[in-house]
A and B are shown apart, each in its own frame.
Chain A
Amino acid sequence: MSEFLVFDGVTKRFGDFVAVRDASFAIEKGEIFALLGPSGCGKTTLLRMLAGFIEPDEGRILIEGEDITRLPPERRPVNTVFQSYALFPHLTIRDNIGFGLKMAKRPKAEIDAEVDRMLDLVDLAEHGDKKPDRISGGQKQRVAIARALVNKPRVLLLDEPLAALDLKLRQRLLVELDGIHDEVGITFLYVTHDQTEAMAISDRIAVMQRGGLEQIGTPAEIYEAPVNSFVAAFIGDTNFLRGKVSEILDAEYSRATVESIGEIRLYNDRPLEMGEDIALSLRPEKIRIETHPPAEEAGLNAIEGTVDDVIYLGSLTRYWVRVGDQRIAIEKQHARYQLDERLPAWKDRVWLSWRADDGCLLTDFAVEDTELLSLPPEGDE
């Protein structure tokens, strides 16, 4: 059976609030699957339903074909790494890690051997006899992972496992977590609100909003081909261009009139109709910014604007260029440092150009999603 873990029409309500709405998806054996979304999107509720702490109102959850929807948490073949670590403060690190095996009534010698193995895996061998309040946050997190993994769960659930740590430690633990996954080969379900974390570690990501699944795909699919404005704006940064189809050129390309920008060329991600309203997501790094008009090229869009804001970030520079009423975000990578290159500066007239097939047609657009974009406040000059 290729479908290892299946959510089948799972719905959960808290009073009038629908925490998870009709979630149906499958996770493959051995993959790292991330549930990504802003707080309150239902990702943690989904995880807690899989762990057994919340019972769904509708739907089923199956692991390898076995329905576990109504099993109590202690009888499910899954273990959880909690956001707050949830280590037992009155037990030593060793006893914390051995807790699950002890509950399973395994012989003491076996528990000791397994705990030793785990302490080695997470590199905490010399801290085994300490209590949790004597070790650092990063070490606590590793204990929490070891405590869950020692039971050899069929799925390891990670609930915002790195949220309480600082950035550098988070990056290091992310790499460690990936290494542990390679070593143990257990399926991971990773819940996070942090898109970089999800992108870095996952094989596939499910983006959630308001209890619903918006899109499931590999990190690249989610980033390069978002289905709607929420996914496009929540993952990375983007520009939204809205307009109407004005001409169907051929099977591949069409033209559209975009508010305050004018005519642009579109790539037909799907069959388009004349006069259809369209919304396009255009990532900032896909746009070239130059102080002179670009050479004519088939499938290339070029528009003129004025630089409104410049933020130099070292490896790249972020520009906001005003074109009519719209501000377009552009990211220019600095692969080489050339003294004679004059970068576009504030108030410069510039030309923006992008290939029509670098834009992504959205199936759905909501104005409030533009608030997720990192636009600076409207310029006071």
Chain B
Amino acid sequence: MKKATTLRSRHPLPVLATAVALVFLYFPILVLVLNSFNASRYGASWEGWSMRWYELLFSARSRDIWEALQRSLVIGVAASAVSMVLGTMAAWALNRYRTRLQKAHFGLIYLPIVAPDILMGISLAIFFVTLDVERNIGAITVAHITFCISYVALAVLARLQDFDGSVVDAARDLGANRWQTIVRVVVPLLAPGILAGGLLAFTLSIDDFVITFFVKGVGSDTLPLKIYSMTKHTKEMPVINALSTLLLTFTFAVVWWVQRLSRARAVA
């Protein structure tokens, strides 16, 4: 037995597999980061270190990139905020009642996660056209909320699995009305689930291409759509590399901060 474990721990396969996976995942990103510092306009040749793409990114010529980013952030914040409220309410109902209606409700909540984005995009586009809704960032936000709700609801539902419902009774028993019970007991206890769901919703909203593509009108490009349209103009390609590198740095910083925060809480 002992021999077997030492053998296994010395076997190079796990290390090798990890290395292959990391290269597979991060090599393309590494190429992108390097290219953002490449003086050449074309990724295929290296012409030395340069900050020119970053300078271009922060110049007046890239104003529409920043507008697109701003639009994406506004949509992301609004969509995740609304879906945190609606998704939490949906999860509460799903957890509290076990009726046939709630079984159907669960199916409907689950559907946007498994349904192809393209289907969601087309149906929303037809829906907005039919109702003659102006297809501005408001329409995009509504479209994002439709799928964000599902992710928040599932995250909160997971948190509700080990939620002791008797604390709600206890709060009422101690003189809290319905509203006070929600604010002082239910929301604080579900907060980790709500925040996790909200963060996921925000990420998905920022990231969404397909649904936004179908729903957006003229002049309401979000960042992914802006980046896509820029790839058609090779002259500006490396600016995208610079922007992507900054986004990557920002994302890593956030992930690192969240992990440190949750570790600190686990220790406390």
Contacts and interface: CB of A to CB of B under 8 A. Distances in A.
Interface in B148-183: 164, 166-167, 169-177, 180
Contacts of A90: 188-189
Interface residues of A, number: 24
Contact of A79 (B173, B185, B188): B173
Contacts of B189: 88-90
Contact of B173 (A73, A83, A89, A104): A73
Contacts of B188: 90
Interface residues of B, number: 17
A147 B175 CA distance: 12
Nearest to B172: A73
Contacts of B174: 74, 79, 99-100, 103, 147-148, 151
A56 interface: no
Interface in B173-201: 173-177, 180, 184-185, 188-189
B175 A53 contact: no
A256 interface: no
B166 A86 contact: yes
Contacts of A52: 172-173
A151 B166 contact: no
Interface string A275-310: 000000000000000000000000000000000000
B177 A82 contact: no
B175 A86 contact: no
A77 to B, nearest CB: 10
B169 A73 contact: yes
A228 interface: no
A78 B169 CA distance: 13
A86 B164 contact: yes
B190 to A, nearest CB: 10
A351 to B, nearest CB: 55
A84 B166 contact: yes
Contact of B167 (A74, A88, A103): A88
Contact of B172 (A72, A84, A88): A72
A80 interface: yes
B252 to A, nearest CB: 30
A93 interface: no
Contacts of B172: 52-53, 72-74
22 contacts: A52-B173, A53-B172, A72-B177, A73-B172, A74-B172, A74-B176, A74-B177, A78-B173, A79-B174, A80-B169, A82-B166, A83-B166, A84-B164, A88-B167, A88-B171, A89-B189, A90-B189, A99-B171, A99-B174, A103-B175, A148-B173, A148-B174
